[in-house]
Amino acid sequence: MDKSRGVSIVLKRFSYKFSAFMFTLATVLFAFSGTASAAQMTSRKVTLGSSVASATTTYSFNFTLPSATVVQSFGAQICTTASGACSAPAGFSQASSTLTAQPTNLGDASGWTVSTATSGELRLSKSGNVAAPGGAVTVGFSNVVNPSATNSTFFARMTTYSAANWTGAIDTGTVAASTAGQITVTASVDETLTFTLSAATVALGTLTTASTGSGTSTMTASTNGSTGYAITVNGVTLTSGGNTIAALAAQTASTQNTSQFGINLKANTTPSVGSEVSGTGSGAAATNYNTADQFRFVTGDTVASASAATNSNTFTVSYIANISGSQQAGSYSTTLTYIATATF
C-alpha cells in the first residue's frame, strides 16, 4: 500500500473526528451561553412586613426587568447564601403563602396564582399570560413564615420564566433580608394635677354705699385624671372682729347700698370686672358661678371642674363687695382656700 495514501486516510479520519468534536463543543458552549444569558433585574429589593423571627408576614418583591420577554412564572428561592447550592433557612415556610395582590407590571393584570408545592420557594404563575412586562414590577406574598433565627441574614434568589412551569429562565436577581430582634420601649406617666393661684391678696378698696369694691385672682388647672378635677372654694365672708358683710347664698346681681359679698368666674359688666375661662383644656366654671353679673359665695361650693383628663385652663375669679349705710366700720378681710381634687 502507498504510504502517502495511508497518511492521507489517517488525516482525513482525524479531520472528521476533530470536526465532530468541535461541533459537540460548539453545541455545549451554545447551550451554556443560552443558560448564562439571563439578565440581571435592576432596582430590586424585598420588603418584609415584619422582621421578627418566625413571624407570619408579607414579602413584597420590587424589581425592573431588562428583558421584554413574556413572563409566565416567577420564583423566589429563599436561601441562606446569595449563591451556590441553596439551603432554606431554618423555620422559613411558604406552605400557606398567598398573593397579597395581583402582581403589577409583570404582564396580565389578573389571573396569577400561587404554587406552594416547592419547599423554600415563593412561586406564582399564569400559563395564559401574553402581555410583556413593563416598568417597575411588584410581586407580593402574604402568610409567609420568617426564618426562626434572630438577627439572621437570608437571601431571595428571584427568577422570571417564559414557561408557566418555572422553566426557561429569563431574568434573575438576588436580594438580601434579615430577621431582627425586638426592642421593647417603655415609659410611664405619673398621675398629675397642676393647680396654681396667681395672687396672695385681692384688695377691694374702700367700700361706700355708692361704689362697689371689686378685684380678681386667677388660677390654672390641668390633670391626666380619667374623670378630671373639681375646684372648691372654702372660707368665710369678709369679717372685721364680730362684724361681717353678708355672703350671697344664691346668685344675685351686684347692688350698691346693700350688704353683699360674692364671686363668679365670668367677664362682668356690672361692675366691669373679670374674664372668661381661657386655655386649651375642657375645664369650665360651675353652674352657680358661670353667669355674668350674678354673684354667689357658699363655702365648699365647686366653682370650676373638668369631667375628663384635660389640658390647662385659666380661671379668673371676680370678687365684689357692697355695703349698706349701717355697715360697721372696720378692716374687713377673709382668707379663702381653693382646693383642686383630681380623680384617677
Instruction: Supply the mean pLDDT for the chain.
Output: 90
Q: Cα separations (Å) of 113 from 5, 116, 122, 163?
A: 69, 10, 11, 14
Strand order in the sheet with 337-342: 284-285, 302-306, 229-234, 337-342
Q: Which stretches of the chain are DSSP H helices? A: 3-36
Q: CA-CA distance, 117 to 97, in Å (whole number)?
A: 11
CATH number of the structural domain 37-178: 2.60.40
Distance of CA 123 to the CA centre of its chain: 33
Q: Who has greater pLDDT, 94 or 185?
A: 94
pLDDT value of residue 196:
94
Give the tens place of pLDDT for each residue, 54-100. 999 999 999 999 999 999 999 999 999 999 999 999 999 999 999 99
Is pLDDT at 12 greater than 50 in this prediction? Answer: no
Q: What's the predicted TM-score (pTM) here?
A: 0.60
pLDDT band, very low/low/confident/very high, at 25 (cuts 50, 70, 90): very low
Name which CATH class applies to 193-342.
mainly beta
- Summarize the confidence of residues 159-165 as an average pLDDT: 98
Q: Who has greater pLDDT, 138 or 23?
A: 138
Amino acid at 43: S
Domain coordinates of the chain in residue numbers? 37-178, 193-342
pLDDT value of residue 184:
78
Q: CA-CA distance, 195 to 219, in Å (whole number)?
A: 7
Q: DSSP for 69-80?
A: SPP-EEEEEEES
Lowest mean pLDDT among 71-75, 177-181, 321-325, 334-338: 177-181
Backbone dihedral angles phi then psi of residue 15, each to the nearest 5 degrees: -60, -40
Is residue 237 within 8 A of residue 272, CB to CB? The reply is no
Is residue 91 within 8 A of residue 148, CB to CB? The reply is yes
- Summarize the confidence of residues 318-343 as an average pLDDT: 96
Check if 37-178 and 193-342 are the same fold.
yes
Contacts of 229 (CB under 8 A, 6+ apart): 193, 195, 221, 223, 283, 305, 306, 310, 340, 341, 342, 343
Residue 244 half-sphere exposure, CB side, CA atoms within 13 Å?
A: 10
Amino acid at 76: A
Is pLDDT at 14 greater than 70 in this prediction? Answer: no
